[in-house]
Amino acid sequence: MFLNPRTVSDELEILRHLNVRMTLPPKEIQSLSRLEKGFHGELVFDQWLTNLKVEVIILSDLLFEVQKTKFQIDSLAITQDRLYLSEVKNFEGDYLYDAENDRFFICSGKEITNPLHQLQRCDTLLRQLLGNLGFQFQIVSLLAFVNPEFTLYQLPRDLPIVLPTQLNGFIKKINGAPSNLHSRRHRVLADQLLSSIIKESPYPKLFKYEYGQLRKGIYCKMCKSFKLIVRGSVLICNKCNCQERIDQAVVRSTYEYKLLFPTEKITAKTIKEWCAIIESDWIIRRTLKETFMARGNGQWTYYE
C-alpha cells in the first residue's frame, strides 16, 4: 500500500514551467534533465514495488531533519519486522567501482560521488529518527539501480546494491518473507514518519528569474505550445488539436503563477496579463472567485 503517492517536486515543476516560458541557462537545463531522470527512475522503482504481494506500507520521497541534519529517502517499505530503505538511481551507461578505494567512476574516467556513502548516511540518520520516535526495527538499506542500460563493473558481491537484472529477485525476496501488519504499531510508525516530514523551499536552489523575463500566455497542457485559439468556451491548440475548457486553463495557469511567484498577490488584473489570450475580465474574475478564496473588496480584491 502506497501511503503517500509520489509527486513531482516543486523544484522540478518550477523548472518545467520556466523551460516553456524562457530560455534556461545551461546549468538549469542540466538540473532539469537530472531531476526529470531521477523522478522517472523513482516511478520505475514504484512500479516494481506494485509486484509486492505481502502486507506492506510504502512511503515515498521523505525529507527529514535529525539534529539539524537533513536527509532524504526515496522509498521506505514497512514490513512486519523490518524496513527496506531504498536509494534509487537512474544511472545510464557503463560505470566502475574501485573496491580498494571505495570510489565510483564512469568508465570514461570521471569520478562521481559515491552513492553508497549517501545510502549509509540515510541509514544512520533514519536509525536516529526511529529512536527519537520510540521505535526499533531492523533496517535493510539498498542502493537500487533501475535503468536497464546501466552496467557496473568490478562489483563485490557483499555490497547492498540491486542491479536492474536483480530487481525481480529483490521483489521475490520480500514476497518470500511473512509480513503481517495487523499490529497497529506499523501504521503508527508510518503516520509518525509522515508527520515528521519537513518542507524545503526550492527557491534558494534556483537561479534568479523575474516576471519580465517570462513569456506570457496560456500554453497547451499536452504539447506546451502557445499556439492556442479561443473558440467559444474552449481553447484549441493549433499544433496538436488538444482542447481545454477556458476556466480549467485559467485555473491551471493561476496555480503555475502562484508556484513561480509565491510572494505575489493573485488579482484578476495579474492573471489576465499572465494568461494574455483571455480578453474577458468577467471570465477571469468568475473563474478566480469559483476556485479561490476572495479577500478584500473592489479594486483591492485578491485571491488565495
pLDDT tens across 90-102, in order?
999 999 999 999 9
Which is higher by pLDDT, 205 or 57? 57
Average of per-residue pLDDT across 128-136: 96
Question: Are 40 and 46 spatial neighbours (Cβ–Cβ below 8 Å)?
Answer: no
**pLDDT mean across residues, the chain:** 96
Q: Which residues pair with 249 in a beta bridge?
A: none
Average of per-residue pLDDT across 2-23: 96
Write out the chain in H/E/C secondary structure.
CECCCCCCCHHHHHHHHHHHHCCCCHHHHHHHHHHHHHHHHHHHHHHHHCCCCCCCEEEEEEEEEECCEEEEEEEEEECCCEEEEEEEECCCEEEEEECCCCEEEECCCCEECCHHHHHHHHHHHHHHHHHHHCCCCEEEEEEEECCCCEEEECCCCCCCEECHHHHHHHHHHHHCCCCCCCCHHHHHHHHHHHHCCCCCCCHHHCCCCCHHHCCCCCCCCCCCCCCEEEECCEEEECCCCCEEEHHHHHHHHHHHHHHHCCCCCECHHHHHHHHCCCCCHHHHHHHHHHHCCEECCHHHCEEC
pLDDT of residue 136: 92
pLDDT above 90: residue 183 = no
Vertex 103: Cα angle to 98 and 104 (nearest 5): 90
Q: What is the pTM of this model?
A: 0.94
pLDDT interval class at 244 (50, 70, 90): very high
Among 1-5, 40-44, 193-197, 272-276, where is mean pLDDT lowest? 1-5
> Nearest-CA neighbor of 54 among 161, 186, 162?
186
pLDDT interval class at 298 (50, 70, 90): confident
pLDDT of residue 102: 96
| Cα 288 to Cα 304: distance, rounded to the nearest angstrom | 9
Question: Are 264 and 232 spatial neighbours (Cβ–Cβ below 8 Å)?
Answer: no
End-to-end Cα spacing for the chain: 33
At 195-229, the pLDDT tens digits run 999 998 899 889 999 999 999 999 999 999 999 99
At 71-97, the pLDDT tens digits run 999 999 999 999 999 999 999 999 999
pLDDT interval class at 111 (50, 70, 90): very high
Q: Per the structure block, which three cell numbers stand in for 143?
A: 542502493
Average of per-residue pLDDT across 251-280: 97
pLDDT of residue 114: 97
pLDDT above 90: residue 182 = no
Among 48-52, 167-171, 198-202, 248-252, where is mean pLDDT lowest? 198-202
Domain range summary for the chain, segments of one domain joined by +: 10-203, 216-303
Q: Which residues pair with 129 in a beta bridge?
A: none
Q: Per the structure block, which three cell numbers stand in for 149?
A: 542500460
Q: Which residues pair with 83 in a beta bridge?
A: 78, 139
pLDDT of residue 30: 97
Which is higher by pLDDT, 182 or 197? 197
pLDDT above 90: residue 299 = no
Q: Per the structure block, which three cell numbers stand in for 194?
A: 509522515
